[in-house]
Structure 1
Amino acid sequence: MFKVYKNANDLPPAWGEITAENHFMKRDTLKKLEMVNPCKQQYHLHEAKKMALVVYELKLDLFTFSRYLSFKILVRIIGIPLSVSSCGYAIGDQENMEDFHQYIKSLKGFYIILNTQDELKMARGDTLPTYKLKIRWSTLEDYISSMRSNYRYRLKKATKRFSDVKMEVLEDNNLFGEDLYRLYEEVYSRSNEKLEKLSMDFFRRFPSKIIKFTLNEESIAFVQLVEHDKELVFLFGGFKHQLNQDYDLYINMLLEIIHYGIKKGFESIDLGQTAEETKSKVGASKCSKYMCLHHSNSFMNFVLNRLVSRFSYKDYRVAHHVFKGEEDEDPAGEMS
C-alpha cells in the first residue's frame, strides 16, 4: 500500500534509497522547496515495491504551448515543484511499472505527470525538451576549438562583445538582491511557457551557486546552478533584454556555465529547457520529454486523450552539426 506524507521531514529512509538518482527528489531538497515554494506538496511512497512520487497543486493554463487558446484550471502535478526537467517519480524495480500505472489511475481528480520518458502508457504529449552537453574538453578554449568554423567564429565574436563585463560567484546567496530578481522577472514575463513564478526568497535560500554579471557596476545578468554529483544543472537566470543583442548576453551566460562546468570537472551539463535554438548551437543535445494526462472521470479522460495534442509543445526540430567530425553539411547554417 502507498502511504501519503504531507511533510518531507516525515519521509522514512526508504524514500532516500528509492530516489537516490534524482537530486530534486532528495528529502533535503524537498524540505527546502516546502519553505521557498509551498504548493500543497504530498509524497506518496510504497516501500515494499520501491515506488515514490511527488504531487503538488498548481493553477495551470492547459494551453500553455498554444498561441491562441487559454484555459486555467487547478491541477495536481506529479513532478518537482520547481521548473526543472527532472521527473517527480522513481520506481526502483521496473517490474512494478504496471502497479505504478494502476496507482495513478486510482487517484481522484485531474493529474499531469511532467517530464516523463516513454515508459508511461497514458494519454501523452510532448513537453519542453532539455538540452545536455557532455564535457570532453579540459579548457573552454579546447571546447571552442573543437567546433566547426561558423560556430567557432560566432562564439569568439560573442566573447569579444563581453570583454567589459565582470563575473563573480556570490559568496552568500543572501546577497541576491532586488536588482537580480528584477532580471528574473523580466525573463519570466517574456516567457511563452510559464509555470510558477518563484519568489526572491527562493534564490536566497535554495542551495545553489549564483554567478552575477555586471557592466559598469550595474547588474545585467545572472545564472543559478546546482551541482549534483558529476552533473551541473542550470536552473534559472535573468538578463536585461535590451542589452542582449549588443553584448550577446544569453550566449555568454551559457558559455560561462560551460566554462564553470569544465573548470570544476563535471562530466555533463544540463542546460535546462527553453531557448532550444541557442542551446543546440552551443553543442548541447536534445533530450525529449513528455507529459502524461489522466482524469479519474472516464468521460474527461476520453476527452483528454482526444485533445492531448493541443496541450503539446511544438519543439525546435533543426539539427545543428556543431563540432568537427559531425556531418559535413549543416542545414541550419551559421548561428544567428
Structure 2
Amino acid sequence: MNSKFSFKIYSTTKDLPSDWDSLAINNIFLSKDYLTVLEVAVPKNMTCHFIGLFLDEELVGLALSQYIDLSDVHSFGERDHCLKTKVREIVFKKFSSNVLVMGNNMLTGQNGCCFSEKLLASAGMVLLEKAAEELKLTFRKRKIKIHLTIFKDFSESEIENFSIPEFDSYYKFTTQPNMIFQIRESWNTFDDYILDKSKKYRDQYKRARKKADEISKKKLSLEEITIYKSRIYQLYMNVAKNAPFNTFYLPENHFVLFKQSLQDNFLFYGYFIGEELIGFNTLIKNGSDIDTYFLGYDEKYQREKMLYLNMLYDMIGYSINKGYRRIIFARTALEIKSSVGAKPVEMYGLMKHSNPAINLLVSKTFSYFEPKIEWQQRNPFKN
C-alpha cells in the first residue's frame, strides 16, 4: 500500500477535520451531526472513536469505532433463564466482554466507513486494521484489554475486500440478515402497495387496522418527546429486555438528544389510547433510504391491538408517500417483517480474538453464542 496513506484517531467530534462531511455526504450515519449526537447520547457501556484516513494531507476515508464493555449487560436477554444461557453469560463475560467494533453496533448495514475514489476499499480496510491495533494499545494503557475485534455488517460483495493477507487470522461470520423493503416504482401511494398484496395479506392488513381503530398516532415534537421521556424509556426497555441478544441499553435522554440534533431527519411517532402513550417508533431519513431506528411498546396493547404490525404498515405508508426507495428494517422480528414485504439480505462480519489459542476456537464456538432464530420467509404479494 502507498506509504503516503495514514490514519488519525479522534476521541471527540470537535476535533474532526473541517471537510469531514464532504466525504460523509451519502450517509447521514457518518455525518458530523449524527456522530456528535452519538457522542453525547451513547450507551454508558460504549466509547466511540472517529477515524480519518489520509493521502498525504487529503482526507480520503472516514470510519467509526465503538468499544463496548459487555460485563454489565445481560447480553442474552432477560426472558431466557435456562442453564445454557447462564453458562454462555459467564464464559462470554470472562473471555469476550471487551469488544472493539469497527463500525456502528447500534445500526444494521454498512454505516461504519466510507472511502473516496482515491482509496481502494481493500487498502482502506488495511488502514482500519492498523487503526484497530492502535486503539487496542490506547485501551491497554487504560487497563482495558480488548478481547474481540469485529468488523461488522458488510454485503456479500463488500466482504470480498477482506480477502487479503492482513485479515487471514479473522473469522468470517454471518448472523441474522438485514431485512430490506424495496419500494416498487409502481407504488405512488400506500394504496398501490395494498392492491399488490394477495388476498390473504390484504385481509391481514384489514384485520390489523380494525384492531387498532381506537389508537391515535401522532408525530411528536422535541418538547413532547421531553415530556414523555420516562414513559418512552419504559416502553423501549420493555422491548429491549426481551431481545435474544443485547450489547447495550440506550440512556434515557437518547431520543431527546437525537431530536435536538437531527431535527427533521429524525421522526418520532407516538401511539396513544386516550392520553396514555402505549408505543412509539422512530425513523431516520438517510438519502433515498428510510432507516427504522428503536421502538417500544406496552406488551399488553401490542398483543391486543397488533401494534407492531400496524407500526410496520405506518412506516411503509410514510416511506411510499414521501417517495423513498428503500426501508432498512434491520434485524429482529424477521418473519413479521417479511410478511409486509421485506426481504432478507445476508450481512457478513469478521472477528478476531486477542488470545491466539482462543482465536483458533472462534469458528467452533461462535454458533454456541449466537442465538438461533428459526423463521419462515413470507411473500405477501400477488407476483
Q: Secondary structure at the match of 1:199?
A: coil
**Distance in 2 between residues matched to 1:41 and 1:283, nearest whole Å:** 34
In the TM superposition, 1:185-196 aligns within 5 A as 185-196=237-248
Count of residues in correspondence between the two structures = 325
Residue matched to 1:144: 194
TM-score for the superposition, normalised by structure 2: 0.77
**Distance in 2 between residues matched to 1:203 and 1:132, nearest whole Å:** 24
In the TM superposition, 1:286-301 aligns within 5 A as 286-301=344-359
**Distance in 2 between residues matched to 1:15 and 1:314, nearest whole Å:** 39
Shift of 1:99: 5.6
| 1:237-270 Cα deviation digits (max 9, x unpaired) | 1111112222111100111111111222222211
| 1:119-153 Cα deviation digits (max 9, x unpaired) | 13431212232212122322222211111111111
1:100 aligned to which of 104, 125, 128 = 125
Moved more, 125-134 or 10-19: 10-19
One-letter code of the match for 1:174?
T
One-letter code of the match for 2:14?
N
Correspondence 1:154 to 2:224: no
1:33 aligned to which of 35, 38, 44 = 38
* Structure with greater proportional helix content: 2
One-letter code of the match for 1:40?
T
2:63 aligned to which of 53, 57, 61 = 53
Moved more, 18-27 or 297-306: 297-306
Q: Secondary structure at the match of 1:50?
A: strand
Residue matched to 1:112: 150
**Distance in 1 between residues matched to 2:125 and 2:348, nearest whole Å:** 17
What root-mean-square deviation, in Å, do the aligned CA atoms of Structure 1 and Structure 2 show? Answer: 2.6
Correspondence 1:200 to 2:242: no
Moved more, 160-169 or 136-145: 136-145
Q: Is the 8 A contact 2:54 2:61 kept in 1?
A: yes
1:210 aligned to which of 268, 271, 278 = 268
Correspondence 1:74 to 2:114: no
Q: Secondary structure at the match of 2:175?
A: strand
**Distance in 2 between residues matched to 1:316 and 1:288, nearest whole Å:** 15
Shift of 1:284: 0.7
Q: Is the 8 A contact 2:61 2:124 kept in 1?
A: no
In the TM superposition, 1:159-198 aligns within 5 A as 159-172=209-222, 173-198=225-250
**Distance in 1 between residues matched to 2:333 and 2:68, nearest whole Å:** 24
**Distance in 1 between residues matched to 2:313 and 2:285, nearest whole Å:** 17
Q: Is the 8 A contact 1:84 1:235 kept in 2?
A: no
Task: Give % identity.
Answer: 25
Residue matched to 1:130: 178
| 1:76-106 Cα deviation digits (max 9, x unpaired) | 1112253444431223357340562465167
Uncovered stretches (5+) of structure 1, i.e. residues with no partner = 326-336
**Distance in 1 between residues matched to 2:292 and 2:377, nearest whole Å:** 22
Q: Is the 8 A contact 2:335 2:377 kept in 1?
A: no
Residue matched to 2:141: none
Correspondence 1:6 to 2:11: yes
Residue matched to 1:87: 111
**Distance in 2 between residues matched to 1:317 and 1:35, nearest whole Å:** 37
**Distance in 1 between residues matched to 2:38 and 2:226, nearest whole Å:** 17
Q: Is the 8 A contact 1:168 1:213 kept in 2?
A: yes
**Distance in 2 between residues matched to 1:102 and 1:10, nearest whole Å:** 20
One-letter code of the match for 1:25?
L
Shift of 1:308: 3.3
Q: Secondary structure at the match of 1:212?
A: strand
**Distance in 2 between residues matched to 1:102 and 1:180, nearest whole Å:** 40
Moved more, 303-312 or 159-168: 303-312
**Distance in 2 between residues matched to 1:201 and 1:166, nearest whole Å:** 24
In the TM superposition, 1:230-249 aligns within 5 A as 230-249=288-307
Shift of 1:28: 1.4
Residue matched to 1:332: none
**Distance in 1 between residues matched to 2:372 and 2:277, nearest whole Å:** 34
Uncovered stretches (5+) of structure 2, i.e. residues with no partner = 1-5, 137-145, 164-169
Q: Is the 8 A contact 1:57 1:75 kept in 2?
A: yes
Change in 2 beyond 3 A, CA 1:101/1:123: farther
One-letter code of the match for 1:124?
K
TM-score for the superposition, normalised by structure 1: 0.87
Residue matched to 1:333: none
**Distance in 2 between residues matched to 1:112 and 1:318, nearest whole Å:** 29
Correspondence 1:280 to 2:332: no
